[in-house]
Amino acid sequence: MEKSAKIYIAGHRGMVGSAILRKLQQEGYSNFVLRTSKELDLRNQADVFRFFEEEKPEYVFLAAAKVGGIVANNTYRADFLYENLMIQNNVIHAAHVADVKKLMFLGSSCIYPKMAPQPLREDYLLTGSLEPTNEPYAIAKIAGIKMCESYRRQYGRNFISVMPTNLYGPNDNYDLQNSHVLPALIRKFHEAKVQGQPSVEVWGTGSPLREFLHADDLADACYFLMQEYDGEEFVNIGTGEDLSIKDLALLIKDIVGFDGELIWNTSKPDGTPRKLMDVSKLHHLGWRHRIELPEGIRQVYEKFVEHEDIRVL
């Protein structure tokens, strides 16, 4: 991407989009076209087409999505399917009509079958049944992958897709009902510490294995791939390392400095037993993560404590 290129980041205020924006600014890019969700409703086709026609961005990072944790995914199934399909359908097709040079679509590791072999290779897509709790979201993301693939095959568009693993970082969501496990645990342990509570409830059994990537590492990988990769097949982005939810909880407990007990609420769902990304393709292309999990959680927790606008107490 030329330093003067006009770049549109859909979802620039979210955790992923804001990380991509920071990365591009660090690399010397400044010609951004940005819209908040109030300024541009990506679910509205007419508005999206008008925006692309007027602004004519050259490069697009499609990081906008309706996202949430396991309970939110399972509760708002219709919303997650409809809104994500509308967002990506509108942006991808408008990018085609506006002759965008290159588009990157960001998906999710939940696209893989629930019982797929581990680690998850890119060619495992559509080889089995999905995890029921987040099936609508996964189906939307799979549709996005196939849209990019199909616009490439039919129209020759340079639309690429990347599949990040579980993410954490600045601008994360700390709402206990709709957040992902890592930020939820940070908030739970912090509140328990501040309030002097004797214990903290953690959902599930603690046995599922999960992989976590810092949003700044994801942004670095996205920038790298936008520069270096033009292939049809989507690319996994992760660390290639995982740990159990129990070990994650103990790590966060230690970093936060909470001295109480853990109580496991086994009535809550565990979700997929394991979701470890095979990142051999990404490593072969020449990119590896830099921020290790303990260091990353410490950074995030420091920001959580510092900023009242991030905290939801």
**CATH number for 286:** 3.40.50.720
108-112, 119-123, 221-225: range with lowest mean pLDDT? 108-112
Grade residue 176 by pLDDT with cuts at 50, 70 and 90: confident
> Nearest Cα to 221, choosing from 122, 293, 289?
289
313 is in an annotated binding site: no
Q: Is residue 249 part of a domain?
A: no
Q: Could you give the CA distance from residue 180 to residue 188 in angstroms, rounded to a whole number?
A: 12
**Buried-exposed string 213-249: b where 16+ CB fall within 10 A, e elsewhere:** bbbbbbbbbbbbbbeebeeeebbbbbbbbbeebbebb
pLDDT at residue 312, as a whole number: 45
210 is in an annotated binding site: yes
Q: What is the mean pLDDT of residues 76-99?
A: 97
Q: What is the mean pLDDT of residues 6-30?
A: 97
Which residues touch 91 (CB under 8 Å, ≥6 apart)? Answer: 10, 42, 48, 60, 62, 64, 103
SS3 assignment, position 245: helix
Grade residue 310 by pLDDT with cuts at 50, 70 and 90: very low
Tokens of 107: 């998906």
For the chain, give the mean pLDDT: 94
pTM of this structure? 0.92
Task: Reply yes or no: is the peptide bond before residue 198 cis, omega within 30 of 0.
Answer: no
Domain count across the chain: 1
Q: Is residue 250 part of a domain?
A: no
164 is in an annotated binding site: yes
Percent of the chain exceeding pLDDT 70 equals 98
Grade residue 309 by pLDDT with cuts at 50, 70 and 90: very low
Which domain does 157 fall in, by range?
Answer: 7-171+211-241+276-291
* pLDDT 10s digits, 142-163: 999 999 999 999 999 999 999 9
260 is in an annotated binding site: no
Q: Could you give the CA distance from residue 207 to residue 91 in angstroms, rounded to a whole number?
A: 38
Grade residue 77 by pLDDT with cuts at 50, 70 and 90: very high
* pLDDT 10s digits, 232-276: 999 999 999 999 999 999 999 999 999 999 999 999 888 778 889
List the alpha helices (DSSP H) in 164-276.
181-195, 215-228, 245-256
Grade residue 167 by pLDDT with cuts at 50, 70 and 90: very high
**Buried-exposed string 14-49: b where 16+ CB fall within 10 A, e elsewhere:** bbbbbbbbbbbeeeebeeebebeeeebebbeeebbe
Q: Which amino acid is at 202?
A: V
40 is in an annotated binding site: no
Strands 199-203 and 32-33, sheet pairing: unpaired
162 is in an annotated binding site: no
Q: Is residue 201 part of a domain?
A: no
Q: Is residue 313 part of a domain?
A: no
Q: Is residue 304 part of a domain?
A: no
Which residues touch 245 (CB under 8 Å, ≥6 apart)? Answer: 181, 202, 204, 206, 207, 208, 209, 210, 270
Half-sphere exposure of 221 (CA within 13 A, CB side): 30
Q: Is residue 186 part of a domain?
A: no
* pLDDT 10s digits, 24-69: 999 999 999 999 999 999 999 999 999 999 999 999 999 999 987 7
Q: What is the distance of C-alpha 215 from the center of its chain?
A: 8
14 is in an annotated binding site: yes
* pLDDT 10s digits, 265-300: 999 888 778 889 999 999 999 999 999 999 999 999
106 is in an annotated binding site: yes
167 is in an annotated binding site: yes
pLDDT at residue 179, as a whole number: 73
- Residues annotated as part of the active site: 137
